[in-house]
Chains A and B, each alone.
Chain A
Amino acid sequence: MSVLVLVEHTNGAFKKKSLEAVQYAAHIAKETGTTVTAVAVGNVGDTAMQELGAYGAQKVLNAADARLENFSSRAYTKVMLAAAQKEGAKVIVGLHDTVGKAVSPRLAARLQAGLVAGAVSYPDLSKGFVVKKTVFSGKAFAFVSITSDIKVITLMPNTYPVVKGEGSASVEKLDVSFSDADFAVQVKEVAKASGAVPLSEAELVVSGGRGMKGPENWHVLEDLAKELGAATACSRPVADSHWRPHNEHVGQTGGTIRPNLYIAVGISGAIQHLAGVNGSKTIVVINKDPEAPFFSAANYGVLGDAMEIVPKLTEAVKKFKANH
């Protein structure tokens, strides 16, 4: 028994969403009367791993083969299979991100286990094992019942607030035997977007649409984003017109995000766009068209010209930050 959770780190520091995943696993472990074992891949210091205890992990297994430096879904799956076997895991938690979406389905297929991809709730054990997830790109939720003995879940980041508690986890090395084929995917080049907050992890997002008129006006959104510590996003027409890179496109055919705050500037709010962002906790809409459908999906609305309003908002944020 035990709940297994795959944790991700950047240069040895665990990501906030992974702490959230550990905490999520701890909740399930508590309800099922078992413990949490986290699995960390690659080079991480013992202190960082022990600290996962403060989020509910009793044990951390570390697979530190040097070849794991580059991500390989096959190799990571082998690590998780070895850990699952060692711990007799019945529930395996990952994140609904680029790593988890590649590893968890492999693991589920190998174990013939049911998978909930993109969970937004704890499992409801009163009805068996039922987990809520978003479907139709955020237009609705589905409750998925897993009927297999082993259950695999990928958790949508930013579902539950992360609260640090007490405790220290024990650390063990995990030996996994790999074949060369597990490392057939070779990384040739990595291009990181400079200085920006990654959109998928961002708690605050400033997004622009066609109402911004052109890429030359984006600096007002970037100034606001910088002041807030927010990521920038855009609507589909903006990405299609190459005003912004398409990894910033959110909506039904772009990324789905659920930040705490989504500020939509010059976006009318077509149903396809709303589908990608309506999981946001708070939505602010700035638009000069009082008929823009986005207003009816927003918490706060400002009517007027983006080029006048956004700089004023940036100033107001600056003032607020100076006083807090």
Chain B
Amino acid sequence: MKILVCICPVPDTTTKVAFADNNTHFSTAGVTFIINPYDEWYALVRALELKEAGIATDVHMITVGKADAEPVIRKALALGGDEAIRIDAESGDTYSVAAQIAEYAKSVGYDLVLCGKESIDYNNGSVGAMIAELLDMNYIGFAAKLDVASGVATVVREIEGGEETDTCALPLVVSCQKGMSEARIPNMRGIMAARTKPLKVVAPAAISAVSSIVAYEMPPAKSGVKMISADNMDELVSLLHNEAKVI
């Protein structure tokens, strides 16, 4: 069984978000990029676990980006996996990213494609489902557990107000979230091994983006907190009713 894990570089979770060029670009000055936590902690680590359990034969990692995305994909290699692929294109919109990954995936033929439930920067959560459509595969989103036996995946996924256990014959695309596996830290052996693992740079397919971000805006600042005495909860309730109008 061959697994492809989609890796998206994102700004570190503690990044103070700022914009440049009249709020038209995200300012990357001083920003550290990491593997999107959902891609790393859940999708990638689960893929590695499936390989360690002898269920998967190959774990490949793919990212769409220019050369500056390489440190992030190297870090993914340090965690484990057999091969990394970088499609040499600007990451564009979700459609163009998904279409680039789908084009490459077609040429190899994967049984399982894993991605995080969303990237923590643009929060679209769309790439997995798009890849599934472009590869004509089934898709299960928001998976908290994933097991594979005899070519059939068993997935526990989040639904509104609960969870559902699904089964589906491979091939399948799954988006992963918390619960699937415990985070790992790359060890020195992994980091050393990653240096010699193949990182394939692939020329992009001719695909254009169909959307783009034209501007950014910061949320309005809160007008200041109104402190209420701990002995006066009636006042708080009254403010929530009369002033905030939320109850």
- On A, residues with C-beta under 8 Å from B are 71-74, 77, 97-98, 101-110, 112-118, 127, 130, 132-148, 181, 184-193, 196-201, 203-204, 228, 239, 246-247, 249, 252-254, 256, 260-261, 271-272, 278-279, 281-285, 295-305, 308-309, 312-313, 315-317, 319-320, 324
Contacts and interface: CB of A to CB of B under 8 A. Distances in A.
A140 B219 contact: yes
A104 B125 CA distance: 11
Interface string B114-141: 0000001111111111111110001111
A305 B230 CA distance: 9
A136 B211 contact: no
A309 B134 contact: no
A314 B178 CA distance: 32
Contacts of B213: 135, 142-145
Interface size class of B (residues with CB under 8 A): 35 or more
A320 B160 contact: no
Given A140-B17, A300-B225, A246 B123 contact: no
Nearest to B134: A109
Contact of A145 (B126, B211, B239, B241): B211
A278 B17 CA distance: 14
Given A253-B13, A303-B227, 12 more contacts: A101-B125, A105-B129, A113-B210, A115-B124, A136-B15, A186-B168, A192-B161, A239-B178, A299-B223, A300-B239, A300-B244, A316-B237
Contact of B211 (A106, A144, A239, A308): A144
Contacts of A271: 13-14, 16
B129 to A, nearest CB: 4
B122 A135 contact: yes
B130 A309 contact: no
B71 interface: no
Contacts of A185: 138, 140, 166-168
A11 to B, nearest CB: 13
Nearest to B222: A297
A174 to B, nearest CB: 20
Contacts of B127: 105
B130 A105 contact: yes
A260 B138 contact: no
A139 B14 CA distance: 11
A188 B165 contact: yes
Contact of B141 (A98, A304, A317): A98
Contacts of B238: 320
Interface stretch (B47-55, B74-82, B94-102, B103-111): B94-102
A13 to B, nearest CB: 14
B141 A143 contact: no
B211 A114 contact: yes
B228 interface: yes
A77 B133 contact: yes
A73 B132 contact: yes
A74 B139 contact: yes
A246 B178 contact: yes
Given A109-B134, A296-B225, A186 B166 contact: yes
A-B pairs, top 9 by smallest CB distance, nearest first, are: A114-B211, A198-B161, A105-B126, A192-B162, A316-B233, A105-B129, A304-B230, A106-B133, A114-B210
Contacts of B21: none
A269 to B, nearest CB: 11
B218 interface: yes
A106 B130 contact: yes
Given A143-B217, A281-B246, A191 B225 contact: no
Contacts of A296: 222, 225
Contacts of A105: 94, 98, 124-130, 133
B237 A317 contact: yes
B37 interface: yes
